[in-house]
Structure 1
């Protein structure tokens, strides 16, 4: 303990890992088939988080804007790969639209949050920009993966309907719009659920972390609302942007329906 901050030593981490191992053992006894995956994922998460902790400590200590931008670029590339690995039933060639959607959301986040809302000095303050980028990317990745999967699945399910709409003179956008709306709504469900339950059912991660670290609970609540509001706005923007770029993949140059991602 340091002041009001409670640190976790190596034994604490080992106990936490042992809890996962016990859960994996229970899975093995019940023959669920997820024990090894659970244990491996926990070990990988521990290594990845510790590695990111060391990297962030270096970037914060250096206080160099180029290191901040380089770390964000690496995070963006990793986010594209994770999005495509989570999305199912999508066609090839989606890396470009996903990267563009993520870059746009990052630029807006940096511009609005750092320049208009928090206004840190310097503007690239690593202890602020890097964690915010990570939280936003994590939520945007999940939204894009769910949205893309749902869109192409919906287009396949609506094949006859889409053909009928096109035959009646509808444009490709008009024929694809129900699938676009469905995918965006589904992708935003976790975000809207978090907004609705924050402060009543749950104490979200950023607020809990700041309070545990000895921060002012009111300031922690303000930061948490900022994060939830930004995530809600920018995940909607990212999903809408990528849908506007990819819906044409379901149509030929003559606006005829063509199944993709099967």
Structure 2
């Protein structure tokens, strides 16, 4: 123990891996078919987190704003890749809109949090900006993947309805709007649930981590609320922006609904 903090040694990490290994064993006994992927994911997470910890330590001690920018850029590119790999039934060629949505909304939220709420010195303080960006991106990536999957699934399910709306004089936006709304709502559901249960049902990760590390519980609660508020705003803005970017790919230049088989080629051309 150092001060009021409780550091984790190598044996603690091995014990944590053992818990996952036991869960993987139970999966094998029940023939769920997820034991190997569960164990592999846990090992991968440990390596990735330790690597990020080392990188963050270097960036924090260096205090160079350009290193902070470079690390954020790498995180954004990784966020795009993860978003597209998680989304199901999504056409190719959406890397550009996803990157634009993540970059614009992340920079906006970071500016608000660092410039108006926390006001660190210096303004690019790595120990604040990098973890904050990671938490915001982690939640937004999941929401975008869910939202994109739901949007294209809904557009496919509503093909006849959309065709009727267009025939009656509706614009492409008016025809696609129900799918846009349902996808944004679905993407926001986990965030809304987290806001509603925070402090009563759950003690969120950032607050729990600060308290375990010896921080003031009330101060940790304030930080956690700022993070949850920023995540909610970022998720809504990012989902809305990506929907505005991609809904047009479902229609041709004359506002007619494209055949499903051409959507992937159209999306690739639209973002080229």
Tell me how far apart the structure 2 counterparts of residues 257 and 109 of structure 1 sit (CA, whole Å).
Answer: 35
Tell me how far apart the structure 2 counterparts of residues 111 and 55 of structure 1 sit (CA, whole Å).
Answer: 23
Shift of 1:106: 1.6
Aligned counterpart, 1:239 = 239
Say whether 1:120 aligns with 2:114.
Answer: no
Tell me how far apart the structure 2 counterparts of residues 231 and 261 of structure 1 sit (CA, whole Å).
Answer: 30
Tell me how far apart the structure 1 counterparts of residues 214 and 28 of structure 2 sit (CA, whole Å).
Answer: 40
Instruction: Give the alignment's TM-score, normalised by structure 1.
Output: 0.99
Aligned counterpart, 2:270 = none
1:107-138: per-residue Cα shift (whole Å, max 9, x none)?
11221011111000000000000000000000
Tell me how far apart the structure 2 counterparts of residues 61 and 109 of structure 1 sit (CA, whole Å).
Answer: 24
Tell me how far apart the structure 2 counterparts of residues 64 and 92 of structure 1 sit (CA, whole Å).
Answer: 36
Say whether 1:250 aligns with 2:250.
Answer: yes
Q: How does 1:89-238 map to 2 (within 5 A)?
A: 89-238=89-238
Shift of 1:261: 5.5
Aligned 8 A contact 2:24 2:39 in 1: yes
Shift of 1:29: 1.0
Question: What SS class does the counterpart of residue 237 from structure 2 fall into?
Answer: helix
Shift of 1:205: 0.3
Aligned 8 A contact 2:93 2:264 in 1: no
Tell me how far apart the structure 2 counterparts of residues 127 and 199 of structure 1 sit (CA, whole Å).
Answer: 24
Corresponding pairs, count: 262
Aligned counterpart, 1:39 = 39
Aligned 8 A contact 2:250 2:257 in 1: yes
RMSD of Structure 2 on Structure 1 (CA): 0.9
Aligned 8 A contact 1:152 1:261 in 2: no
Tell me how far apart the structure 2 counterparts of residues 11 and 151 of structure 1 sit (CA, whole Å).
Answer: 45
Instruction: Give the alignment's TM-score, normalised by structure 2.
Output: 0.95
Tell me how far apart the structure 2 counterparts of residues 186 and 117 of structure 1 sit (CA, whole Å).
Answer: 29
Tell me how far apart the structure 1 counterparts of residues 78 and 173 of structure 2 sit (CA, whole Å).
Answer: 31
Structure 2 runs not aligned, ≥5 long: 266-272
Question: What SS class does the counterpart of residue 6 from structure 1 fall into?
Answer: coil
Aligned 8 A contact 1:89 1:261 in 2: no
Deviation beyond 3 Å, 4+ runs, structure 1: none
Shift of 1:105: 1.2
Tell me how far apart the structure 2 counterparts of residues 111 and 34 of structure 1 sit (CA, whole Å).
Answer: 41
Tell me how far apart the structure 2 counterparts of residues 85 and 20 of structure 1 sit (CA, whole Å).
Answer: 24
Tell me how far apart the structure 1 counterparts of residues 33 and 151 of structure 2 sit (CA, whole Å).
Answer: 30
Structure 1 runs not aligned, ≥5 long: none
Tell me how far apart the structure 2 counterparts of residues 109 and 73 of structure 1 sit (CA, whole Å).
Answer: 15
1:79-101: per-residue Cα shift (whole Å, max 9, x none)?
00000000011111100000000
